[in-house]
């Protein structure tokens, strides 16, 4: 189960990376970086839910404790990934901005959705 959950996390990061590139190329010029990031959290959350819906049975997590474990692993790995990339490409100010709602940072909402996505997907898929 953990190996499959990690494989799906890599898929999620690939999807989110492509989403971020497209957001930067297509949406930022239209609405600006703050609004694009806010829209991006909503779209990214939807993408996470969709990927999870299509893969939850393959992951093999059935019990609530297993689903929570998958969500927690995904969130912790994503935090490490995001902080590492944010720091590498913009320093601590860039990292903190993504988590500060006063500057349009809605990343905590995306992580909240990510944490619960295995539970939601299992409930929807049965």
pLDDT band at 107 (very low <50, low <70, confident <90, very high): confident
What is the Cα–Cα distance from 21 to 26, expressed in whole angstroms? 9
What is the Cα–Cα distance from 91 to 95, expressed in whole angstroms? 7
Q: Is the pLDDT of residue 126 over 90?
A: no
Number of domains in the chain: 1
What pLDDT does residue 29 have? Answer: 96
| Secondary structure string (H, E, C) spanning the chain | CHHHHHHHHHHHHHHHHHHHHHHHHHHHHHHCHHHHHHHHHHHHHHHHHHHHHHHHHHHCCCCHHHHHHHHHHHHHHHHHHHHHHHHHHHHHHHHHHHHCHHHCCCHHHHHHHHHHHHHHHHHHHC
pLDDT in tens, 49-84: 999 999 999 999 999 999 999 999 999 999 999 888
What pLDDT does residue 69 have? Answer: 98
Q: Above pLDDT 70, what percent of the chain?
A: 99
Instruction: With 0.85 as the threshold, say if the pTM is over it.
Output: yes
Contact status, residue 26 vs residue 91, Cβ threshold 8 Å: no
Q: Is the pLDDT of residue 120 over 90?
A: yes
What is the Cα–Cα distance from 126 to 119, expressed in whole angstroms? 10
Q: Is the pLDDT of residue 106 over 90?
A: no
Range of the structural domain that residue 49 is part of: 2-125
């Amino acid at each position: 189960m953990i190996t499959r959950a990690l494989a799906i996390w890599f898929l999620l990061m690939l999807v989110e990376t492509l989403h971020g590139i497209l957001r930067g190329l297509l949406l930022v010029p239209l609405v600006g970086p703050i609004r694009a990031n806010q829209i991006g959290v909503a779209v990214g959350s939807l993408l996470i839910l969709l990927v999870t819906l299509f893969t939850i049975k393959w992951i093999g997590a059935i019990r609530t404790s297993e689903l929570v474990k998958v969500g927690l692993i995904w969130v912790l790995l994503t935090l490490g990934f995001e902080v590492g990339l944010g720091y590498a490409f913009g320093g601590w100010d860039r990292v903190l901005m993504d988590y500060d709602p006063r500057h349009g940072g809605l990343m905590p909402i995306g992580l909240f959705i990510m944490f619960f996505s295995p539970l939601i997907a299992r409930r929807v898929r049965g």
